[in-house]
Amino acid sequence: MSKVDVLCSTDREMMLEFSRLCVSRLNNYLPLKLFLSPFQHFLDANVIKEIEKDRLIIEHAEAHFERGRSRDDLNVNDIFEMTIKVDDKFVNKLSNPFFSVVIRYDDFAEIRKKRIAAFVNMVFDLLHNWQDEVPFPHIVKTTFAEESYREILKEVLHLYNVETRMLSNSFTFHGPAGKVKDLFAERLFTTMEKTAGEIALEYSRRVYVDKGMSIGQPGFAEDDRLR
């Protein structure tokens, strides 16, 4: 696998597991259970959108690094504009009778740029220590202390959570679901924040405690033991 593929695969696995756990926990919250279906459609599409944007960021940072350029030369605003194209595809795919979308970028532009910068810094730090014949967990361990890596993962997820909460202002839910939108948004954010800390802990544990579990190995039992 290429460097980009390794980084993207790791990110994809973490984001999908994060989203799955959040939806599972929301499904156990009775006041929202009847309305979860339209909201889940949004959540499923949103995490795929985020994974696509993360790949864009990783590819851009890796190409910049391979050209011998400093991270300080990388323009976060340029990457932000690229992510808008991913958003456009996201909106076009979300044709749904339950809601309409008009994305309000001013609501979350600075949060997204902050997440882009955090991601770029992590990628550059890893690439500085990259050796093709060395397993990815070892690269992580030679780059970051365990607590630092956990905090980076937690921050990246936290910024995604904040943007998702702000993005909810761009959605108008029709019918009965519209009456519980605010309740859903707050419950979603609380659930995402709690889960983010647990996911960051689990994925750092895989590297530093479990002797570098390979990508794709399950970290959570099917009963979602971390609650």
At 27 the pLDDT is: 79
List the one residue out of 56, 62, 69, 51 whose CA is nearest residue 12.
Answer: 51
pLDDT digits (tens, 9 = 90+) for 108-158: 999 999 999 999 999 999 999 999 999 999 999 999 999 999 999 999 999
| Residue 21 domain flag | yes
Percent of the chain with pLDDT over 90: 59
| Angle (CA) 44 115 168, round 5° | 45
pLDDT digits (tens, 9 = 90+) for 34-49: 666 666 777 888 899 9
CA dihedral 95, 100, 106, 112 (to 10 degrees): -40
| Residue 184 domain flag | yes
Reported confidence tier of residue 196, pLDDT bands at 50, 70, 90: very high
Print the domain residue range for 103: 3-208
| Residue 99 domain flag | yes
| Residue 215 domain flag | no
pLDDT digits (tens, 9 = 90+) for 65-122: 999 999 999 999 999 999 999 988 887 776 666 667 778 888 899 999 999 999 999 9
| Residue 8 domain flag | yes
| Residue 217 domain flag | no
**Tokens in use for 27?**
């499904």
At 176 the pLDDT is: 61
Q: How many folded domains does the chain comprise?
A: 1
Distance CA 160, CA 123 (A): 17
| Residue 104 domain flag | yes
3-state secondary structure of 121: helix
- Residues 6 or more apart whose CB falls under 8 angstroms from that of 26 comprise 32, 36, 39, 187, 188, 191
pTM for this model (two decimals): 0.85
| Residue 127 domain flag | yes
